[in-house]
Structure formats: structure tokens, C-alpha cells
Amino acid sequence: MLYKNRQKFSSLSIKIGMIFSKIPLSPNQWTLLSLIPAVLGMVSVYYNHVGAGIVLFAVTAFVDIIDGSVARVIGRVTSLGAYLDTVVDRYIEAIMILSILFLNLPSFYVPAYAWILALLFGSMMSTYAKSASAEKDIVKEKGGHGVKGGILEHTDRLVLLFVVFLLSVAVDRIYVIYLVAIMTVLSNISALQRIYSAYSIARNR
């Protein structure tokens, strides 16, 4: 079933790439373009137009699919493109997390902003723990096991961030801060898992 789902996604990705490759934008330009609806989404949430923010964040996610699809279709998959995509992905995630500050969530043991900032810290540290392992040559480009995993990875966090905004317009916001608190704990656990993974690989080399 998983293999079939991947095949379907790959086929859809190719179709998207073929359609949008006709627009005179490079894959890297598509990547940078995804920042625009993300910022507009944040502005929308700030002005309490959460529904519009959700739509704009969804557009951001779709544009993020376009860049890789176009790159594969036109044969311009590069290390620079992969690096730029990773950096922009983290900017987008940070923008979405910081947008939660404007939802005026209630306190839950500590003020809501403390949970949100701790979530931002955990998500960034989870990413850094992986990138730093490659920078310090803990994991070889070939033959290494890789610092991966974690109980809450990047894609999982993005999905849950969408859920946070959807819940904020559908239910009492006390339940939203519960979800944010859970994400915060799991994100920081993920960072620690990756740090431990890098430590284990380095120790056993």
C-alpha cells in the first residue's frame, strides 16, 4: 500500500512538474516564491483573518511541491536547489509557528508564548542536530547510517501546524494550546533523539 501511494505521489508530482515547467521560472525561483504566501498568511492571522491565513499556508505548501516537481521534470535537480529548499522550508515553518502568537491562546501552566517559542526552538534544533552532524563529518556522504528519525519530523510538524490553525476557528482555543504544548514536547524530544543518534554514530566510528 505504501509503495502504491508513493507511485501515485510520484506520478502526480511529474504531472505538476510538466504543467508548471511551462511557466518561465526556475526551480529556485519557485522555492523563493513560496515565501510570499507564507508571509501573507502570517499577516492574515495577525489581522484575525485565520481562514485566509490557512488558505495562504496551503498555497505555500503547494508551491513547495512545485519547485521539486519542476526541477525533476526539466532535469535541474542540484545541490544548491536542495540546500535552498531546506533553508526556505525552515523559514516557512518558523513563520507558521510565530503566526500562532497572533491567535491569542490562553495560558496552560505558562503563558502561550512560552510554549510557542519553545516549539520554535525544538523544531529548529531538530533540524540543526541533523545538519550539524553532516557539517562535523559525523555522518559520511556515502555509507553512513544518517541522523534521521525523531518522534515528530518536519512533515509531521507542518501537518500539525495546519491542524492548529484549523482548530483555532472550530473549537475552544484551550484545546489549541493543548496541541501546541504536545507539539512542543515532542519537537524537543525529536531534537534530543537526533542528538543522541549523532552521538551514537560518532562514538561507534
Are both 40 and 19 inside the same structural domain? yes
Q: What is the pLDDT of residue 115?
A: 97
Instruction: Based on the fold, state whether residues 51 and 69 are members of the same structural domain.
Output: yes
CA pair distance 34, 36, nearest whole angstrom: 5
Residues 134 and 89 in one domain: no
The pLDDT assigned to 148 comes to 62
The per-residue pLDDT for 77 is: 77
Spatial CA neighbour of 60 closest among 82, 88, 83: 88
Residue 30 has pLDDT above 60, yes or no: yes
When pLDDT is averaged across residues 33-39 and rounded to a whole number, the result is 95
Of residues 2 and 32, which shows the higher confidence score?
A: 32
Boundary (domain end) residue, out of 86, 103, 120: 103
Most confident of 25-39, 43-57, 58-72, 186-200: 43-57
CATH number of the domain at 93, please: 1.20.120.1760
Number of domains in the chain: 2
| Together in a domain, 114 and 99 | no
| Same-domain status, 85 and 169 | no
Same domain, 115 and 198: yes
Domain shared by 182 and 91, yes or no: no
Regarding whether 46 and 7 lie in a shared domain, the answer is: yes
Mean pLDDT for all residues in the chain:
84
DSSP-assigned letters across all residues of 96-136: HHHHGGGG-PPPBSB-HHHHHHHHHHHHHHHHHHHHHHHHT
CA distance 181 to 109: 10
The C-alpha cell that represents 184 in the structure block? 512542543
Please tell me which residue, 141 or 44, carries the higher pLDDT value: 44
Q: What percent of the chain has pLDDT over 90?
A: 49
Residues 114, 175 within the same domain: yes
Domain identity same for 99 and 120: no
Position 173 pLDDT exceeds 80: yes
Q: What is the per-residue pLDDT across 78-87, written as a single tens digit (0 to 9) for each?
A: 888 888 888 9
User: Do 109 and 35 fall within a single domain?
Assistant: no
For residue 74, what pLDDT band results from cuts at 50, 70 and 90?
confident
Residue 2: pLDDT band with limits 50, 70, 90: very low
**Final residue in a domain of this structure, among 73, 103, 133:** 103
- Listed residues 57, 83, 103: the one ending a domain: 103
- Residue-number span of the structural domain to which 146 is assigned: 104-205
**Would you state the pLDDT for residue 149?**
64
Q: Based on the fold, state whether residues 111 and 75 are members of the same structural domain.
A: no
112 in Cβ contact with 177 (< 8 Å): yes
